[in-house]
Amino acid sequence: MTSSTLPKTRTPRTPRTLRTLRRATRSGGTLRRQPVVVAAIVVAAAWIVVAIAAPVISPYDPLEQTANLYSAPSAAHPFGTDELGRDVLSRVLHGARLSIPLALAIVTCALLLGGLLGLVAGYVGKTVDAVVMRVTDLVFAFPQIILAMAVAAAFGPSTANAVLALVIVSWPVYARVIRGAVLTIRSEDYLNVSRMLGVGPFTALRRDVVPNSFGPAIVLATLEFGNAILLLAALSFLGLGPRPPSPEWGAMIASGTNDITRWWVSLFPGLAILTAVLACNILGDALRDKLDPHSTTGR
């Protein structure tokens, strides 16, 4: 009996995640009812807008040095100026233009690399799984910032190398989570039913496994976005990220250590990081409650 005699099988069920997302975002959905989550969405959106519109909304050129060194916040410079007379507000706004796209790049690459490996490991199992697990164990043997620091230092400090270092450091988390999701799906019956009905392994992977892994993946990606921003700031604080005079938030805080009395130089970049990462964490948590309630993913 060939598979062509069987009726064309449809995906046994709508991926849990899509159903939940649809339900949650319909008008009056539960996501909207929590003010904290709404605030987080607003903040996240605001930062994205800033990242895009920074050149337009910045009052000054972030790289322009003036003679007005270390001036406290005033009407002309709401966030003050730094040790080279540059406007801190403009630099903070342009910092978003660096951090957010870079974090996006890091998360995307790590998700693709880690997700793919996790998918294969969970689906194929046996040796492939064992190898992937051992490699992730190895990366986990290093505290994240330490390894990122080592990699970035080894390759030489630059924006590209910082991104590379962070991708190397973060892909295992995705691999573990996706693999876990795949194993859970494998243990559920609808996949077995699919295969019994003659659906080929790749199609089953595409139609059953992947869509149902979206939930944990989305949650993780949101949380990791914030983590990427933090790690990127840490690397540039250590001098291993985007080179000066790039207005990276972490580097700006580092320059503030020279003179702590000029509090505005460090305060505002730090607040930028705090608000952006907090928004990601709140959103990630909210998404986890909806899409992946009993999970032990990530932090």
Six token digits for residue 203: 């199609």
Handedness of CA 55, 80, 100, 274 (dihedral sign): negative
How far are the Cα atoms of 169, 218, 236, 238 from residue 82, in angstroms, in the given order?
A: 32, 38, 17, 19
The DSSP secondary-structure symbol of 27 reads: T
Among 149, 182, 191, 204, binds another protein (CB under 8 A): 149
Q: What are phi and psi of 79, to 5 degrees?
A: -105, 10
C-alpha closest to that of 104 among 52, 156, 158, 147: 52
Query: What is the smallest separation between the CB atom of 46 and another protein, expressed in angstroms?
Result: 16
Query: What is the smallest separation between the CB atom of 257 and another protein, expressed in angstroms?
Result: 6
**x/- letters, 199..228, toward another protein (CB under 8 A):** ---------------------------x--
Query: What is the smallest separation between the CB atom of 236 and another protein, expressed in angstroms?
Result: 11
How far is Cα 83 from Cα 259, in angstroms, rounded to an integer?
9
27 binds another protein (CB under 8 A): no
188 binds another protein (CB under 8 A): no
How far is Cα 190 from Cα 186, in angstroms, rounded to an integer?
8
Kindly identify the residues of this chain, within the stretch 115-144, that bind another protein according to CB under 8 A: 134, 137-138, 141-144
H or E element, residue 159: helix 159-187
* CA 149 from centroid of its chain's CA atoms: 19
The DSSP secondary-structure symbol of 206 reads: I
Query: What is the smallest separation between the CB atom of 168 and another protein, expressed in angstroms?
Result: 10
Query: What is the smallest separation between the CB atom of 171 and another protein, expressed in angstroms?
Result: 14
11 binds another protein (CB under 8 A): no
Query: What is the smallest separation between the CB atom of 166 and another protein, expressed in angstroms?
Result: 14
Kindly identify the residues of this chain, within the stretch 249-288, that bind another protein according to CB under 8 A: 250, 253-254, 256-257, 260-261, 263, 266-267, 269-270, 273-274, 277-278, 280-282, 285
Which residues partner with 87 through β-bridges?
A: 81
- Using CB under 8 A as the criterion, which residues of the chain lie in contact with another protein when the complex forms? 36, 134, 137-138, 141-147, 149-151, 153-157, 226, 230, 233-234, 237-240, 250, 253-254, 256-257, 260-261, 263, 266-267, 269-270, 273-274, 277-278, 280-282, 285, 296, 299
